[in-house]
Amino acid sequence: MSAPVKAGESKSQRLTKGGRKTRERIIEAAAELMFHHGAGGTSIPDIQAAAGVSASQIYHYFGDKQGLVLAVIDHQTDTRLAQQRPLLDSLDSIEALREWCDSAGNRQDARGCEGGCEIGSLASELADSDQSARTSLISAFDRWEDPIRSGLARMQARGELSERADTAALATALLAAIQGGMLLSQVRRSSTAYRQAVSAVIDHIESYLVR
Amino acid sequence: MSAPVKAGESKSQRLTKGGRKTRERIIEAAAELMFHHGAGGTSIPDIQAAAGVSASQIYHYFGDKQGLVLAVIDHQTDTRLAQQRPLLDSLDSIEALREWCDSAGNRQDARGCEGGCEIGSLASELADSDQSARTSLISAFDRWEDPIRSGLARMQARGELSERADTAALATALLAAIQGGMLLSQVRRSSTAYRQAVSAVIDHIESYLVR
């Protein structure tokens, strides 16, 4: 076994290939369990069983459960953003915004609107109880909001969106519509609420188009 | 002690005044604990200690923890809606919508944006894991959406809002903006995201005004 990994270090960089694979397997198992049962509803023994590792391996790679929760937040953010590329890098037209939001609605339909948003669910659970998790969640939402904001800013720079449009505020409003819409859709088991929520905000963004 | 209360009966109707008070005290203690720690993070012994009752009293009034969770969802919905009246019954102008949403933003500021939405947090935690809770949450969100929708419908009936406006969809969009905005504000510890989210949707509703 390699030397214990200290908190705060760039852990995955210092690991052997086998170590990185084990660490990844633990994170993926924990992410799946926390998606279905929450961080609080997922125990270290649950993760051991799902990943086929010992408790000491988990503590070796993550220090404690809180360290693992932070790794799960980063992992879910990386995964969700990667799944949404290249759409996410070209959100500089009304059509692209609609297509991107539709694809997330179709993804909800495909799983019967169960599960909600991987990041939003952890945010709701952990924002008040875990200060480190909240810091990671701020970064997760910022990383999600950035491509929306920069797409709108490019439209504005090209003169397609009015100078009156507050692109940062509109990006936040769209992210909020996505989050709130997903929650209502999860409760109602229908993507209609999500689609209506994002549609209202994109229609509003469209009202700033320079004709 | 009165006869055991069977699940499905209208429990509070059949109770003595003292029984109703005890039941209320248990619900209020459970609601407070679940607001801070989630339903999963709140145990029966926690509730016993906070309400000063025995476990058998809790089981007597609610059957099991799930029954108590349902009572908490109803209680939080009743309380939040009651706090927002009479504003909630007069959401039939753009100004009234803005005032109502502002008041919720001020409430978030007053508590440092901690805690999020009492209903939204339970929804995120329970929508997938507890079918009875999900049914209660559908009703809770409907009860919240109804006064928005009927305010918009009154504006439309008076000819103030264009016939093109889908008042039901707009009401859902505003509720989603409230939910998503509160979640972002809880993570960022600032009501700005909430205010930007609701403002975008109300601006959009305003675009349907008949001038």
Q: For B114, which residue in chain A has the nearest alpha carbon?
A: A128
Mind telling me how many Å the CA of B190 is from chain A's nearest CA?
Answer: 11
Q: Report chain A residues whose CB lies below 8 A from the CB of B178.
A: 180
Q: Count of A–B CB contacts within 8 Å?
A: 173
List of residues 6+ apart from A175 with CB closer than 8 A:
A141, A144, A145, A148, B180, B184, B193
Q: At what angle do helices B94-110 and B192-206 cross, to 10 degrees?
A: 170
Q: B187 and A115 in contact by Cβ < 8 A?
A: no
Q: B184 and A172 in contact by Cβ < 8 A?
A: yes
Nearest beta carbon to residue B180 from set A36, A127, A179: A179
pLDDT the model gives residue B201: 98
* A72-206: CATH architecture: Orthogonal Bundle (1.10)
**Cβ–Cβ contact B187 with A under 8 A:** yes
For chain A, give the mean pLDDT: 92
List of residues 6+ apart from A163 with CB closer than 8 A:
A156
pLDDT the model gives residue B11: 54
Q: For B195, which residue in chain A has the nearest alpha carbon?
A: A173
Could you confirm whether domain B12-63 is CATH 1.10.1040.10? Answer: no
Mind telling me how many Å the CA of A56 is from chain B's nearest CA?
Answer: 25
Q: What is the DSSP letter of A12?
A: G
Nearest beta carbon to residue B197 from set A36, A172, A193: A172
Q: B138 and A200 in contact by Cβ < 8 A?
A: no
Mind telling me how many Å the CA of A18 is from chain B's nearest CA?
Answer: 35
Q: Where are the domains of chain B?
A: 12-63, 76-206
Q: B204 and A201 in contact by Cβ < 8 A?
A: yes
> Chain B 154-173, CB below 8 Å of chain A: which residues?
166, 169-170, 172-173
Nearest beta carbon to residue A128 from set B115, B123, B197: B115
Residue A6 clears pLDDT 50, i.e. is over it: no
> Chain B 47-86, CB below 8 Å of chain A: which residues?
none
* B76-206: CATH architecture: Orthogonal Bundle (1.10)
Residue A4 clears pLDDT 80, i.e. is over it: no
SS (H, E, C) A102-144: HHHHHHHHHCCCCCCCHHHHHHHHHCCCCHHHHHHHHHHHHHH
ipTM above 0.85, yes or no: yes
pLDDT the model gives residue A3: 45
Q: B183 and A36 in contact by Cβ < 8 A?
A: no
How far apart, in whole angstroms, are the C-alpha atoms of residue B159 and residue A175? 32
Q: B192 and A172 in contact by Cβ < 8 A?
A: yes
> What b/e string do you get for B80-117 counting C-beta neighbours within 10 Å, with b at 16 or more?
bbeebeebbeebbebebbeebbeebbeebeeeebebbb
Tens of pLDDT along A49-72? 999 999 999 999 999 999 999 999
Kindly report the number of other CB atoms within 10 A of residue B37's CB atom. 15
Tens of pLDDT along A97-150? 999 999 999 999 999 999 889 999 999 999 998 999 999 999 999 999 999 999
Query: To 5 degrees, how large is the angle CA B176–CA B188–CA B174?
Result: 15
Mind telling me how many Å the CA of B121 is from chain A's nearest CA?
Answer: 6
How far apart, in whole angstroms, are the C-alpha atoms of residue B102 and residue B96? 10
Kindly report the number of other CB atoms within 10 A of residue B67's CB atom. 18
**Cβ–Cβ contact A112 with B under 8 A:** no
State whether residue B209 is helix, strand or coil.
strand
**Cβ–Cβ contact A105 with B under 8 A:** no
Tens of pLDDT along A157-183? 999 999 999 999 999 999 999 999 999
> pLDDT truncated to tens, each residue of chain B (211 aa)?
444 444 444 555 678 888 899 999 999 999 999 998 999 999 999 999 999 999 999 999 999 999 999 999 999 999 999 999 889 999 999 999 999 999 999 999 999 999 889 999 999 999 998 999 999 999 999 999 999 999 999 999 999 999 999 999 999 999 999 999 999 999 999 999 999 999 999 999 999 999 8
**Cβ–Cβ contact B21 with A under 8 A:** no
**Cβ–Cβ contact A180 with B under 8 A:** yes
Q: Report chain A residues whose CB lies below 8 A from the CB of B128.
A: 36, 114-116, 186
Q: Report chain A residues whose CB lies below 8 A from the CB of B166.
A: 196
pLDDT the model gives residue B3: 45
Nearest beta carbon to residue A184 from set B179, B186, B189: B179
**Cβ–Cβ contact A120 with B under 8 A:** yes
